[in-house]
Amino acid sequence: MDNLLPKMIRDEDSFNIHPFNGKKDLLGKLPGRLRAYKKWIPRDYRIVVLVDRDRDDCMVLKRQMETIAIEAGLSTKSSSPNDDTFQVLNRIAIEELEAWFLGDVEALAAAYPGVPLTLGAKERYRDPDAVVNAWEALERVLQQAGYPGPLQKIKSASEISKGMVPDRNRSASFQSFYTGVLACIRQS
């Protein structure tokens, strides 16, 4: 996110990232965190909540995230009529955040020369969000390109995201995240 968000927001906008120890930790702490934010958050601030779907039912997970925000007294993009002012953007990386890296083959190849630029044309990788166990698939791609594993997730994510271009990413869940972030900026 440190590499991606500056490519999505205006220079005058700022952001803070608050990582959690996995989805269970985030969803467990989210109600209290959002209630606390409700007490002080200025109207032009936006909160973006991003989780991996993993194997969860996307609709159930999204409904859970929406309910948490609404019960905290915050409006969400999904619950705001006509997309007017909202405070919380809930987004889900399908199936895992690593699928987003498979959605930008140019960035992947720039970080790891040897990854073929034709990777996205292969049937398995045409729809990055359909790749089951995206991290393991990404690790296999990199191993086939000559990068022995096990790979370090944070280091690899940082290297690949440096070259990512939001507009060209083929992951539908990435594009949903991206357009949501752009909507946050339009609201501020």
Question: What pLDDT digit, counting tens, does each position of 104-150 carry?
Answer: 999 999 999 999 999 999 999 999 999 999 999 999 999 999 998 78
The per-residue DSSP string of 101-114 comes to HHT-HHHHHHHSTT
Pair 14, 71 in one domain = yes
Map residue 94 onto helix, strand or coil: coil
C-alpha span between 30 and 43 (Å, rounded): 19
Pair 161, 133 in one domain = yes
Residue 99 lies in a domain: no
Q: Give me the pLDDT at residue 83, please.
A: 62
Pair 27, 118 in one domain = no
Q: Give me the pLDDT at residue 85, please.
A: 83
Pair 74, 13 in one domain = yes
Pair 64, 150 in one domain = no
Question: Taking Cα atoms as reference points, which of 89, 91, 25 lies closest to residue 58?
Answer: 91
Domain interval for residue 32: 5-94+171-187
Q: Give me the pLDDT at residue 149, please.
A: 76
Tokens representing residue 95 in the block:
């199936």
Strand partners, 42: none
How would residue 152 be classed by pLDDT, with cut points 50, 70 and 90? confident
Q: Give me the pLDDT at residue 65, please.
A: 97
In tens, the pLDDT along 160-186 reads 999 999 999 999 999 999 999 999 988
In tens, the pLDDT along 43-101 reads 889 999 999 998 899 999 999 999 999 999 999 999 886 666 899 999 999 988 899 99
Pair 88, 10 in one domain = yes
Residue 154 lies in a domain: yes
Pair 41, 55 in one domain = yes
- Residues 3-9, mean pLDDT to the nearest whole number: 94
